[in-house]
Chains A and B, each alone.
Chain A
Amino acid sequence: MQKRMSLKDILIANAVPITFFILTFLAVLVAKIPILFLLSEIVRRLSRNTFLVLALIIPVVAGLGLNFAIVLGAMAAQAALFFVVDWGITGLSGILLAIVISSVISIFLGWIAGKTLNRAKGREMITSMILGFFANGVYQLIFLFFVGSLIPFKKTDFLLPQGVGLRNTVDLFGIVDGALNDLLTLNIGFITIYIVPLIFVVGLCVFLTFLLKTKLGQDFKAVGQDMHIARTAGIDVDKTRIIAVILSTVFASIGQVIYLQDIGTINTYNSHEQIGLFSIAALLVGGASVKKANIWNAILGVILFHALFVVAPSAGNRLFGQPQIGEFFREFIAYAVIAFALAMHGWRSRKGK
């Protein structure tokens, strides 16, 4: 076995980020987007999306693969925000309350998700994905049919005309819109930096780094490598995995609160759906795999993935005269990156045998 990696090995190991970098770079050239605008967009998206992407790391380390069930956390966050809106609690206190409520719901949901995934060892990813879809059904049942009928909701302007079910969009304006962003901003010329969400991101990075150095983190790594050996050594494998899923779900819910206060409106039936896809794609673009992920993958991934996201429509417009092509293209890229990462994972684990 050779210890030193050759240049070729390094290139192959980082094929995804490098390809993506080239792709984004070309798209930027084609799109002729002002670089300052791009920069300000990326900075904003870093503060908006990174927390969600970071939420995916622990399950990867614990051997559960990409946790598509973070949408459960996102749903919890939206549910919490709906009630904060209903109770009319504004500003920072609204955000903090939303974080507390959504975390509590997420602990419960994460526990269920963890239990479910423990019953599907070896096919956690597809199960977490279907679990997300299933939860989406239950979510729709609650917020389309129960809110306003079984669950009281006072703000009738957010309800559908019949008085049952939430509208397609719930506006956070004047309630918690930008409540974290606007606490502290830094303007460098054209670029506005929202400090507080970035502090949250940095805080989570520090916490994850800390966590992976604790006994619990060591157990995650052990379980992630080989459940059988971990169990023989006396580690409670199932419980450890459940904790991993709970942490991931809770972080996802906090991430979604951060995300939504930045966006300013909740797309009641869509916001959470895309979160899973884009967060996972971003993590993979950053060079993570199904078995390995760290905070740098998350940060790099957010930068690269969202840079392409920003420029793709105008690049598509310039190249084909249709902005739609750019939109489909970035969607294709998101899916293709995941498909590619999964295929590489399948191929490697087969070769390893």
Chain B
Amino acid sequence: MSRLLEMRNINKFYYGNQVLKDVTITLDEGEILGLVGENGAGKSTLMNILFGMPVIHSTGGFGGEIVFKGERVNIDSPMKAMELGIGMVHQEFMLLPGFTVTENIKLNREITKPNFLSMVFGKRLELLDMEPMREEARKALDTIGMHSIDEMHLVAGLPVAHKQFVEIAREIDKRSLKLLVLDEPTAVLTESEAEILLNVVRLLSQKGISIIFISHRLHEVLEVAHKIVILRDGAVVGEGPKEKFTLFEIAEKMVGRKVENLELPPRKVPLDENKIIMSIKDLHVHMPGEEVKGFSIDIREGEILGIGGLAGQGKLGVANGIFGMYPATGKVTYMGKEYQLNSPLFALKNGIVYVSEDRRGVGLLLDESVEMNIVATAIQAFGMFTKRFLGFTIYDRKAIREHALRMIKELDIRCKGPAQPVRRLSGGNQQKVCLARAFTLNPKVLFVSEPTRGIDVGAKKLVLDYLVKLNREHGITIVLTSSELAELKSICDRIAIVCEGKLAAVLPPTASDVEFGLAMAGELEEVKAHG
């Protein structure tokens, strides 16, 4: 086997944050590389670099070099990647629903035949030659064993799994295909469908096509890959033939982190395990990409509960569902009474406040001032900061200003003043504005999602400290949802791991990385059961 691809010493910065650190991977012809890592570990960024995605080049390019078939190459656009023979099956489907399977497989690579007009006006006026297109599509489908997919069927009516295979067939059909990247190809498949897909992957490998297989289902990776690369925080933390690894080791390496122990201040009143402030039973949340399918947990009064899990597993859906941002069903009891889902106003009125993971999309009015961002919800929901004027109840600039100045001081929000639009603040300061807004609403239970995403280290600590302060000094119950396990471990009393929309495990912050890793992959139970 000869060397196909080498990505050497890849470095990448996003807005001053280093997201890839000296990453080197190599791949031989026909080899299957399993790429694993938590979200944010750098997998997508690495693949985006390999595929020449515009997002890489619009953010300053990358450091390091790519060697393909022994030659240094400069992949500056997806077209270039395709020309080299690199194909990618994206997580979201890249299929046109109104076209047939054939038309999709041959999209922009149609077979045409010349005619009178095309000789005058150029190739684009050549007629499509459906028959050979159809034959080639058929061949591509047969190659991956998908004899049952009708190549003339409209994609719109196909089952999800078939769409996935059509995508693969399209890549196969590119005759020059040397390397295929599969990004979470089994995420939408049932177990038996996933099994078929793994067989297809093996088949392709036998045909000499190299594969980069990205999946969070670790057992699949172990089953199909020849070698495994584990990324964590943008660096390679484990690499080698798959025989070198066990499920445990992968899980541990994937999440393992030196935990900085925050000095947590003591509670005035110790936690009472039996004092339940909110009890969630069988929660379903219809949040695209973060579906919750029957999640249950009891939240204890005064605790900091962490919710962790991999992306797409539904951890973000929980808070969104409870607060009413996405349609939810289930039985929730709050302070002994029935809790009304799907009404943010009800939530607010009952002291439940939510700080969204989507800071810029949900949490802020980007073009509004710092002060309006802090108080708008309080005015709207509770009529705080208002006064009577000419028979109108209008908001009171003076009261708003006073409160805003107080919050700016308390949270150390670095801004030019309360009137500055929040768009120009740094991520950390924007997050502080979100927290100030939440605190202004006098929460009893505060749901905070991904509070430290995309902010620098110093601000991270401040944000977490503030959450602890709210918890200890004001007795606010906090539900912290985060992709960063270290963060959860540092301040939470308990950590719930969500997998496939359900509660996978509730672990103490002192639990081992292996346990967390397995719980996230949904295999803690399995491993426990089978030893």
> Using a CB–CB distance below 8 Å, which chain A residues touch chain B?
1, 3, 210-211, 213-216, 218-219, 221-222, 225-226, 229-230, 232-235
B110 partner residues in chain A, CB cutoff 8 A = 215, 218
The docked-state distance in angstroms from the alpha carbon of A234 to that of B51 is: 13
The docked-state distance in angstroms from the alpha carbon of A274 to that of B389 is: 52
Q: Which residue of A has the minimal Cβ distance to B130?
A: A213
A233 partner residues in chain B, CB cutoff 8 A = 94, 107-108
The one of A216, A221, A230, A234 that contacts B82, using a Cβ cutoff of 8 Å: A234
**Residues of chain B from 63 to 99 with CB closer than 8 A to chain A in the complex:** 78-79, 82, 94-99
Contact A226 B78 (CB under 8 A): no
Q: Which residue of A has the minimal Cβ distance to B118?
A: A214
Contact B78 A232 (CB under 8 A): yes
B381 within 8 A of A: no
A229 nearest CB across to chain B (Å): 5
Contact B157 A229 (CB under 8 A): no
B125 within 8 A of A: yes
Interface size class of B (residues with CB under 8 A): 20 to 34
Contact B125 A215 (CB under 8 A): yes
- Do A222 and B99 form a contact, CB below 8 Å, given A215-B124, A229-B94, A234-B79? yes
B123 partner residues in chain A, CB cutoff 8 A = 215
State the majority secondary structure of interface residues on A: helix
A327 nearest CB across to chain B (Å): 40
Contact B124 A214 (CB under 8 A): yes
The docked-state distance in angstroms from the alpha carbon of A167 to that of B118 is: 44
* Other A-B pairs beyond A214-B125, A215-B125, 16, CB < 8 Å: A3-B157, A210-B117, A213-B128, A214-B126, A215-B112, A215-B127, A218-B110, A219-B108, A219-B124, A221-B99, A225-B96, A230-B96, A233-B94, A233-B108, A234-B79, A234-B82
The one of B98, B112, B118, B126 that contacts A225, using a Cβ cutoff of 8 Å: B98
A229 partner residues in chain B, CB cutoff 8 A = 94-96, 107
What 1/0 flags go to B485-496 for Cβ under 8 Å of A? 000000000000
The docked-state distance in angstroms from the alpha carbon of A222 to that of B106 is: 12
The one of A1, A211, A226, A235 that contacts B108, using a Cβ cutoff of 8 Å: A235
B233 within 8 A of A: no
The docked-state distance in angstroms from the alpha carbon of A234 to that of B108 is: 7
The one of B78, B107, B124, B157 that contacts A222, using a Cβ cutoff of 8 Å: B107
Contact A214 B127 (CB under 8 A): yes
B93 nearest CB across to chain A (Å): 9
Contact B127 A213 (CB under 8 A): yes
Q: Which residue of B has the minimal Cβ distance to A291?
A: B98
Question: Can you name 28 A-B pairs with beta carbons within 8 Å?
Answer: A1-B157, A210-B117, A213-B127, A214-B125, A214-B126, A214-B127, A215-B110, A215-B123, A216-B124, A216-B125, A218-B103, A218-B110, A218-B128, A219-B108, A221-B98, A222-B96, A222-B99, A225-B97, A225-B98, A225-B99, A229-B94, A229-B95, A230-B96, A230-B108, A232-B94, A233-B94, A234-B82, A235-B108
